[in-house]
Amino acid sequence: MSKTPIVEVINFGDELLVGIRENSHLTYLGAQLARFGLPIQRSRVITDEAIEIKRAFLDAWEHSDIVITTGGLGPTADDMTRENIAAALGAELVFEPAIEAQIEARFKALGRPMAAHHRKQCYRFIDGKVLQNERGTAPGLAYQCKSKTLIMLPGPTHELTPMFEKQAIPFLQSLGALSEEEAYLQIRTCGSGESTVEETMQPLVQSHPDLTVAYCVHYGIVDVRLSSRDRRLDMEQIKAIGQEARELLGEDFVCFGDCSLAKVVLHELRALDRSLAIAESCTGGLLCDAFTNLAGASKVFVGGVVCYSNDVKVSKVGVPESIIEQHGAVSAECAIAMASGIAENLCSDYGLSVTGFAGPDGGDEKNPVGTIHLGYHSPVGVWCKTVRYTGGRLDVKARAVHAALDWMRRKLRKYKVEEFLSCGERD
């Protein structure tokens, strides 16, 4: 394709319009396409009604070069996207026995017969391409007509994601619509706000006039995207500038790419051959969840306790009752006792803890709502860090998790040499 294609995404589904399900597809597809230099220009969310499906699709087909749809490919009565778009295009759908065989094999593996209504998923465009569904029954479809391209994806996120990354992206690259290499370099930072990161980056921006810099903020993390204005810089030059940025950002630099803070901590602990246990109160298991989302976490993460009540802090974590009576459950002293107690009880090298007031209730003059105490136990000492956040309950909890992980990341990198010297080799 000689010019940059115009891309439109249509998300079909009544559940999106009535708020039953969040429309995460647009965010995901936008990020994936932008990664290879193809931004989305238009998007819309449409009901499952046949007339609306046809009307929205025909408008998109007229004004865009690439149309990507999500939803409506399943076996139920309201899954009519395939049929209605084919009718709008005047394109023929044909039954594909290979799709039926794959669906039958999937149900056989589950020990169940394939129901008759699943046969409606076995149709494809006569001149189109089938996108295999490795996690579900409804295949995706790709269709081309003259200079226009249609890609149809299933609604469930766990089905859509691998299909798009493994099949749709290579297909678009084969057409020349997507770049073969990534269009930008992402730098993940944590610990400073967006304005501070932007100020830190200013010398770099001024010295490279062909560089474009964009910022994205989420719960204390600031992602910086470096790209070339009008493609005047190639990726090797952008990566070299990225190394300059890393030096400027110092300890705030987390990684290149989108590696999670938990994954960075996991890698540091594996390099040290050390283990971690977690005790958390106000975050309710989110900190443990950040690690158990990672494959291979069991090599480092031994377990955790959600000690929401004071009794559990005492009986399961080992916090002395005197600590809670004298200083309170939301205190630096309690956070340290939680970190040390969980490390001792679960026989881990490191202990990490969180206690605080996530709101909207609770808090006092000394510890207002949004106050979070973090505890850190290591082979070379114990520490506490206190942070305060504003915002809703869920926002405070999410930021507390990132704060705990970022703090541990910094401590591990700072004390890596000292910990090896102090602890020696493990038996």
CA distances from 336 to 248, 346, 376, 382, 390 (A): 33, 16, 6, 7, 23
Does residue 391 register a pLDDT over 90? yes
Average pLDDT, integer, range 180-209: 95
Q: What is the pLDDT at residue 2?
A: 54
Q: Does residue 38 sit in the same domain as residue 115?
A: yes
Average pLDDT, integer, range 264-286: 97
Q: Is position 179 within any domain?
A: no
Domain boundary among 174, 207, 231: 174
Counting residues of the chain whose pLDDT is more than 70, the rounded percentage is 97
Q: Does residue 84 sit in the same domain as residue 189?
A: no
Q: Does residue 279 sit in the same domain as residue 252?
A: no
Q: Does residue 267 sit in the same domain as residue 404?
A: yes
Q: Does residue 133 sit in the same domain as residue 276?
A: no
Q: What is the pLDDT at residue 3?
A: 76
Q: Where in the sequence is the domain holding 251, given as residue range(s)?
A: 184-256
Q: Does residue 319 sit in the same domain as residue 350?
A: yes
Q: What is the pLDDT at residue 1?
A: 47
Q: How far apart are CA 318 and CA 332, in angstroms?
A: 16
Q: Is position 1 within any domain?
A: no
CA distances from 236 to 103, 183, 240 (A): 44, 11, 6
Fill in the amino acid letter for 111.
G
Q: Does residue 63 sit in the same domain as residue 201?
A: no
Q: How far apart are CA 44 and CA 13, in angstroms?
A: 11
Q: Does residue 203 sit in the same domain as residue 317?
A: no
Q: Is position 110 within any domain?
A: yes
Strand segments (E) across 210-346: 211-218, 221-228, 253-256, 276-280, 301-306
- Domain of 83: which CATH number? 3.40.980.10
pTM for the predicted model, two decimal places: 0.86
Does residue 425 register a pLDDT over 80? no
Q: How far apart are CA 27 and CA 35, in angstroms?
A: 12
Q: Does residue 16 sit in the same domain as residue 162?
A: yes
Average pLDDT, integer, range 218-240: 93
Counting residues of the chain whose pLDDT is more than 90, the rounded percentage is 91
Residue 184's pLDDT band, with cuts at 50, 70 and 90, is very high
pLDDT, one tens digit per residue, over 82-118 is 999 999 999 999 999 999 999 999 999 999 999 999 9
pLDDT, one tens digit per residue, over 346-374 is 999 999 999 999 999 999 889 999 999 99
Longest dimension (CA), the chain: 77
Q: Does residue 112 sit in the same domain as residue 248?
A: no
pLDDT, one tens digit per residue, over 15-42 is 999 999 889 999 999 999 999 989 999 9
Residue 197's pLDDT band, with cuts at 50, 70 and 90, is very high
Domain boundary among 216, 238, 256: 256
**CB 11 within 8 Å of CB 26:** yes
Q: Is position 368 within any domain?
A: yes
Does residue 419 register a pLDDT over 60? no
Omega prior to 162 cis, within 30 of 0: no
Average pLDDT, integer, range 231-255: 95
Q: What is the pLDDT at residue 231?
A: 81
Number of structural domains, the chain?
3
- Domain of 193: which CATH number? 3.30.70.600
Q: Does residue 251 sit in the same domain as residue 314?
A: no
Average pLDDT, integer, range 260-289: 97
Q: How far apart are CA 400 and CA 393, in angstroms?
A: 11
Any residues with CB less than 8 A from the CB of 180 and at least 6 apart, and which?
173
Q: Is position 39 within any domain?
A: yes
- Domain of 357: which CATH number? 3.90.950.20
**CB 201 within 8 Å of CB 187:** no
How many residues are listed for the chain in this entry?
Answer: 427
Average pLDDT, integer, range 159-170: 97
Domain boundary among 228, 256, 284: 256
Looking from the CA of 252 toward its CB, the CA atoms found within 13 Å total 21
Does residue 426 register a pLDDT over 80? no
Q: Does residue 188 sit in the same domain as residue 304?
A: no
pLDDT, one tens digit per residue, over 300-318 is 999 999 999 999 999 999 9
Q: Is position 2 within any domain?
A: no
Residue 403's pLDDT band, with cuts at 50, 70 and 90, is very high
